[in-house]
Amino acid sequence: MLNIIIADISMSLDNVLAVAGIARDNVVILVFGLILSIVLMAIGATFVAKMLEKFHWLGYLGLLIILYVALDMGYDGINEMLPYLRT
């Protein structure tokens, strides 16, 4: 049960970052993506927990994807803010 709870929490953060990174300024895509991720989480949490127990490297792959999206969002955010900071 603890593995499933940990997988749910980590996948929720992963999904929110991924959807926000892809949606950018499109609110419709953001809302659709969040609703879809909630439905998929409800259906696939147990399956993913079993896969993570069997293939530990999948956790590291997910971490790399989260890191890439976070760095990309941070880089884009800094570039959007630079014109305002220079004035």
Q: What is the pLDDT along the chain (87 residues), one digit of tens a residue?
A: 677 677 667 767 777 778 888 888 888 988 888 888 778 777 777 788 888 899 989 989 988 998 998 899 999 989 999 988 886
The predicted structure's pLDDT at residue 49: 81
Give the whole-angstrom CA distance, residue 36 versus residue 43.
11
With both helix axes pointing from N to C terminus, report the angle between 57-86 and 27-54 in degrees, rounded to the nearest 10. 150
pTM: 0.50
Q: How many residues are there in the chain?
A: 87
Give the whole-angstrom CA distance, residue 70 versus residue 21.
8
Give the whole-angstrom CA distance, residue 11 versus residue 35.
14
